[in-house]
Structure 1
């Protein structure tokens, strides 16, 4: 799975605002388990609660030796429910001494049969229970007839009706525990199965699953699709997608490729990009893994209302529609598409072919795909700056998450499926991917590759644990990785490093890497990196020497640096090998500040800019100093990745200044300077360039003066144009949102006119967001009512857009006026078992950079209430960001006063 789709609402990715051995015991799995042990286990009844616990999953794994499913499903265009029949051919390890439960959430069970005979059962809305006396013997065919409502929240079998042409589309999304919303079964990753599927669906629909259909037979207004038995895999990566999709076809060296999108989106899809990136990924992975693609065909389905970025269903990957732009993509957007295609494909081997035993190894599944996707792009694509993008995006997400109060070890115990969901974060993906990026330097690139290949070969179609993976890597490299595991996987926290050096006679006399750790997480780690020595040569600051070094402990002497020319800048993580926060020494800071635009390497400039931003976030560098530095130096930058970073930082600081207690005239001067800078950069950027697109987005985020708002309105109405700037529908909505946020011009008419031109669901979602942004109490009350009290009348996507847009950072007074109503709804939300509702509610707590804002969240956290893990995590992080914002304001105030 790729979660970048979570950041597709145009929400700022600034770290200030928050954008955009623990191994489970392997129970004995043989028929020879002692009777006493089995009798002890029989006393354990499954708790009558949603989800699945690790303890019960282990017990059920003891019960069941093998299972295969035959599934028949009937779906239609107009109904609210679908029907199905599943036969689970089940082999047990021994005669059952306790009831068998079958996962099935939110449906209706019509009948249960065992070997053709109807048997009594219990159903509590979460799982079906069959008493052991109906399951005597070791092998049974358990048949269940059922119905289930279609989903509208993106999980289970989701139904979407296109508002433009009325066509209906369906898709499934199951991770970690929603496959049982499609059909009753044993929904845990270590009970892999073969699936034989047949589907009755409207005759003009395509039906897509893990295998290609073997026949399609017409029967009046419907077709009956019959699929052959699949390979063996976990149910969370099974799939059923259906609808009147537009389809494109291609081939990757014998592997059939198909790409699907709904009809009204098809004109914007660029299949050549999709197929090119797909073929390049296949070419790289099959060679790297030395294992042929195991699932015969490869479909990619672009779907609406998707909760994540993409999902690695076996041979039928689903993608969020935000990967389809309605205008010309930037190179970064094209790379983002290539990256997510490669990420999901990597899962076909690592995740689908070899699958984690339980959700505590979810991090490894996602981190490996994250690392491999970037490696594939770096080594076999047109994107020669893939690692710069990794640093700019994934790694900054990881660094941010690792400094939050909710940071955690990469490897965590996961007691139940709800906790698996809670741990999808920047540690799971970003930090894990970053430390896997470090491992090939630490072990050797070929040793790492060989270890991965052997792991996949040895465990194909099986389940595995972290120890299996690390054991294969260690064996290939001839190295014991137990200490490495303890340092990196079982301990939380982010280390900082800096270089300390002395020069004599123009040469380095000594250079050490100093490593530190936060007090709460004091682990000092070992890793391999490079120390970069920089000096001016003519007008350029160039890398004069890169010295590889493995550092550990509090201080590591870099003996190879002795005698080198005394550097003007030292960067102790040259090439971004290590996962560590870099603090520059004062000499390097001074020279970098003087020569930021003279540094020859764009990647180095990128890292230098981030070091400055880190100092702001740590309240060491006053924010106004950074802003002035960026305005003075940013205009000369030509590298698009550095431009993106500068833009991100300026936008974030603009928004923070809207809230903090600072001198009013200084706020006005700095915000106006940022607005003017963005407008100037937009107008001076090369026509049609990516830089032009970046500065357009920046301008629409910071425009606030009457002149700027008037210019934005003229752009929207065609009275003003900028050469090369094409206003596609999504850019037009940026301008409309800006009007509504500031109640400028005929803002209501702007929404109506745009919807008349474009009634797509994307436009309808943007219209909701634009309205919710209005600084009017009546609007806030309306949408709070919809989110908190009338949510059943809306799709989840609509509620997410509204909640994310409701309180922009410049509307703090309106948030304060509605805070009591938001807090009053906490108990009801907290008692919900729907993570989607909890996640939407958490968006109603925006950045509140005030003492009251800190105390409000603190009061909830200290109330003694047992908070939902997702809600508790969101509130702890909001509390931290509010306090950090106050600290930044204090640093700027102290600086101004001094």
Structure 2
């Protein structure tokens, strides 16, 4: 509805009229489908009229002691007139419990029947719970009083009080006022959560209570001690680097069910996906990701919560800083000492892929309304921004960078800012003018490519040039770039020489390398400081393919692997050649996140980028190779664990499927590999996608694991069954909506699996349904369906996917921006796949 899509101009106009002071929110959470919400807002006004946001049912409105007709509420807004200089607004309303991960999410645990609630308000869903001026620059103090069952725990931004007993079953938690924060950072988490507590002493001498919690049926799996250790390390690191003490009075972290994202930085009450509570063996990659997430949200307590963007065009300031600082803290303050290798393989790769799409945008972009905000939670806002901040830290110097941040926090605590407020502090601390830097890196979109041109005469470098290609960027950017020369020495690829050079314009001649012996491998961007695509010359590519396991520098190896993957995506290296390189690399990879990314890229190369005429053979070959690697790997190792599960997911031939069927019975497993509960579901899903088991077998598996995770896994298995009847039933259920968010996600992942020939007829039906989906479902559920119901496995197999997508875009110019953007990205991905398939042929 138009009222839900707040525009920037409306926000600016409202902020010119309204100055918020404090909220008092009284919530009664004892209902089944709805809850009571009574909000009192105290605010000053310099004009006569404004509006307040709410999504739900309004029962009564009172302004300055006088009743206001409820007809003032329409289109998700309460329209107010006759404002005084100081105002008190009381809104008695009824809110709806959600199962979409938005607003007040309600979850009933199938294990014990207990109810768990949590709020998720970013971007603008506080209005689903209480009446509010829903924009980040109208900060206020928030006081919550919550009535709930007595056996629950209730958390909010302020320290949890002792509850007041109301009767045998119910109590009320009367929280003290919060610090002055934005509405999207408020939170209520309620239910019989269980966990552990600790405390630390902040830089200013205060005792900060810490808590780590999850739902009761998962409490035995909660590794609270490790979470606390990471948190304490992060506190010490950030307080030192920021030069500013922790701004809030306590710090709770609650692992919550059915969470759409990784976590949310609610001030002092962080919510985190409970997929980070590991009931089965977890990969090293996800364990490291949990640590990064913990540090990311903690970094937000300063950058985002203490000082907050004025409007959502500076969303990147929140997310990019948290992303950069979390990896910096991970690298320097925890046991994970290869954080920048992780960053390169995951966040930076994500950013560079997003930056090559037609939907790319500058890091700093003009966001005109909330629709644009939702569309911009992407790899550019997170990964590219963090990459650029890493460069900025090197450009102005680490000390000046942190000094600028400290001055920024001191000057703007509890306020809202814009980009210029931050840049001026970096300029003051470093003495550098950042105008041109900001223009090139923050205000222009796209990605350049650096390609080496090397001439070798008599075994020596006769000339060397770095050629920079524009790609889809607006201009050629300057880079401070490392250039490394690597030689094979006694079976190891070792660095002989690394130099740093300024790369600018379309060609840069590097005279310092003339006369050097020709290396076996020459690596641009050695050290990974520059944000640009790189290429390998022919000699270096041959060395990489033949000796990818021989690097003694893991970061250099990851750079080479990323360059090779980008060449495959750009149809400069065939999918078949890439799979051979990736399989060799997997055999010796010891970095869990790089291994995870390699396996994902390998699957995409084999199943999407390969030529259709030999795809089946390639997929079978890849699966055979993965089984062999798992059999050869050290029993119980990270390598064996990840590869064995991926082999099961890729199984296609009768023999491969027979083998993983035997795994369910405990036989023919790789030595030392244990198939636990979540591993069993991976095998069941693979068998279902290949038509080897039916719904009865899936139901039997669910009977032994009737948990939230088990139900999600069962949905994925059922919708994976590759028959027209199973897919039709799945399609109808998904389009109709109504599944909880994580069950819908699992069902979508299953729907897109299996025989492409069965999936192809659903592509036009998917396109036909999208407009209705976006009208009838919430943003989160609609974008999830639009993204995941697209089936890339059908590209190049007879269905003209590109034409179908383009025709839909032409016919629907006025659909929601986020919907159109997703389909534009599907179109770009389709074109890329077709080009890669042609190269592989």
TM-score normalized with structure 1 length: 0.89
Query: In structure 2, how many angstroms separate the alpha carbons of the residues matched to 1:477 and 1:511?
Result: 34
Secondary structure of the residue aligned to 1:751 is: helix
Check whether the contact 1:780–1:806 (CA below 8 A) recurs between aligned residues: yes
Find out whether 1:218 has 2:165 as its counterpart.
yes
Equivalent runs, 1:99-498 vs 2, <5 Å: 99-105=49-55, 107-121=56-70, 122-132=72-82, 135-136=83-84, 138-220=85-167, 221-253=169-201, 254-498=207-451
Deviations 1:665-700 (A, max 9, x none): x44442222111111111221121110111022112
- Residue of structure 1 aligned with 2:523, choices 564, 571, 595: 571
Q: How many equivalent pairs are there?
A: 830
Find out whether 1:712 has 2:712 as its counterpart.
no
Residue 11 of structure 1 is matched in structure 2 by none
Find out whether 1:683 has 2:683 as its counterpart.
no
> What is the Cα deviation at residue 422 of structure 1?
0.9
Residue 29 of structure 2 is matched in structure 1 by 75
Find out whether 1:619 has 2:619 as its counterpart.
no
Query: In structure 2, how many angstroms separate the alpha carbons of the residues matched to 1:628 and 1:534?
Result: 22
Query: In structure 2, how many angstroms separate the alpha carbons of the residues matched to 1:177 and 1:171?
Result: 15
Query: In structure 2, how many angstroms separate the alpha carbons of the residues matched to 1:815 and 1:63?
Result: 54
Query: In structure 2, how many angstroms separate the alpha carbons of the residues matched to 1:632 and 1:337?
Result: 28
Equivalent runs, 1:506-545 vs 2, <5 Å: 508=461, 510-518=463-471, 520-545=472-497
Residue 503 of structure 2 is matched in structure 1 by 551
Check whether the contact 1:120–1:130 (CA below 8 A) recurs between aligned residues: no
Secondary structure of the residue aligned to 1:574 is: coil
Secondary structure of the residue aligned to 1:317 is: strand
Query: In structure 2, how many angstroms separate the alpha carbons of the residues matched to 1:70 and 1:639?
Result: 49
Check whether the contact 2:285–2:596 (CA below 8 A) recurs between aligned residues: no
Change (3 A) 1:328 1:667: closer
Query: In structure 2, how many angstroms separate the alpha carbons of the residues matched to 1:345 and 1:402?
Result: 27
- Residue of structure 1 aligned with 2:651, choices 696, 700, 703: 703
Deviations 1:182-220 (A, max 9, x none): 100111100000112211111001110011134421111
Query: In structure 2, how many angstroms separate the alpha carbons of the residues matched to 1:128 and 1:166?
Result: 37
- Residue of structure 1 aligned with 2:814, choices 858, 862, 866: 866
> What is the Cα deviation at residue 657 of structure 1?
6.4
TM-score normalized with structure 2 length: 0.95
Check whether the contact 2:576–2:606 (CA below 8 A) recurs between aligned residues: no
Instruction: Report which stretch shifted further, 670-679 or 845-854.
Output: 845-854
Check whether the contact 1:104–1:125 (CA below 8 A) recurs between aligned residues: no
Secondary structure of the residue aligned to 1:154 is: coil
Find out whether 1:892 has 2:823 as its counterpart.
no
Check whether the contact 2:233–2:334 (CA below 8 A) recurs between aligned residues: yes
Query: In structure 2, how many angstroms separate the alpha carbons of the residues matched to 1:826 and 1:668?
Result: 31
Give the CA RMSD over aligned residues.
Answer: 2.0
Find out whether 1:844 has 2:789 as its counterpart.
yes
> What is the Cα deviation at residue 262 of structure 1?
0.4
Check whether the contact 1:605–1:642 (CA below 8 A) recurs between aligned residues: no
> What is the Cα deviation at residue 642 of structure 1?
4.8
Alignment gaps of 5+ in structure 1: 1-46, 894-898
Query: In structure 2, how many angstroms separate the alpha carbons of the residues matched to 1:670 and 1:834?
Result: 40
Instruction: Report which stretch shifted further, 821-830 or 51-60.
Output: 821-830
Residue 778 of structure 2 is matched in structure 1 by 834
Query: In structure 1, how many angstroms separate the alpha carbons of the residues matched to 2:252 and 2:453?
Result: 53
Change (3 A) 1:698 1:213: closer
Residue 66 of structure 1 is matched in structure 2 by 20
Alignment gaps of 5+ in structure 2: 202-206
Check whether the contact 1:606–1:641 (CA below 8 A) recurs between aligned residues: no
Query: In structure 2, how many angstroms separate the alpha carbons of the residues matched to 1:344 and 1:260?
Result: 16
Query: In structure 1, how many angstroms separate the alpha carbons of the residues matched to 2:134 and 2:597?
Result: 42
Query: In structure 1, how many angstroms separate the alpha carbons of the residues matched to 2:349 and 2:198?
Result: 36
Check whether the contact 1:406–1:873 (CA below 8 A) recurs between aligned residues: yes
Check whether the contact 1:438–1:527 (CA below 8 A) recurs between aligned residues: no
> What is the Cα deviation at residue 130 of structure 1?
1.4
Residue 757 of structure 1 is matched in structure 2 by 704
Secondary structure of the residue aligned to 2:69 is: coil
Find out whether 1:651 has 2:603 as its counterpart.
yes
Secondary structure of the residue aligned to 2:9 is: helix
Residue 819 of structure 1 is matched in structure 2 by 763
Deviations 1:820-840 (A, max 9, x none): 332321331244572123213
Query: In structure 2, how many angstroms separate the alpha carbons of the residues matched to 1:499 and 1:236?
Result: 47
Secondary structure of the residue aligned to 2:3 is: coil
Check whether the contact 1:109–1:145 (CA below 8 A) recurs between aligned residues: yes
Change (3 A) 1:839 1:316: same
Query: In structure 2, how many angstroms separate the alpha carbons of the residues matched to 1:565 and 1:476?
Result: 43
Deviations 1:320-345 (A, max 9, x none): 11112222233222211110000000
Instruction: Report which stretch shifted further, 630-639 or 461-470.
Output: 630-639
Check whether the contact 2:486–2:520 (CA below 8 A) recurs between aligned residues: yes
Change (3 A) 1:633 1:300: closer
Find out whether 1:51 has 2:2 as its counterpart.
no
Deviations 1:616-655 (A, max 9, x none): 2111122222223444565355554554344233222222
Which runs of structure 1 show a deviation greater than 6 angstroms over 4 or more consecutive aligned residues?
Answer: none
Query: In structure 1, how many angstroms separate the alpha carbons of the residues matched to 2:139 and 2:716?
Result: 42
> What is the Cα deviation at residue 250 of structure 1?
1.3
Query: In structure 1, how many angstroms separate the alpha carbons of the residues matched to 2:609 and 2:300?
Result: 42
Residue 749 of structure 2 is matched in structure 1 by 804
Query: In structure 1, how many angstroms separate the alpha carbons of the residues matched to 2:765 and 2:673?
Result: 43
Secondary structure of the residue aligned to 1:500 is: strand
Check whether the contact 1:238–1:313 (CA below 8 A) recurs between aligned residues: yes
Check whether the contact 1:161–1:169 (CA below 8 A) recurs between aligned residues: yes
Check whether the contact 1:215–1:227 (CA below 8 A) recurs between aligned residues: no
Secondary structure of the residue aligned to 2:761 is: helix
Deviations 1:390-430 (A, max 9, x none): 11111111111111121111111111112111111111111
Query: In structure 2, how many angstroms separate the alpha carbons of the residues matched to 1:768 and 1:59?
Result: 47
Check whether the contact 1:442–1:527 (CA below 8 A) recurs between aligned residues: no
> What is the Cα deviation at residue 788 of structure 1?
1.6
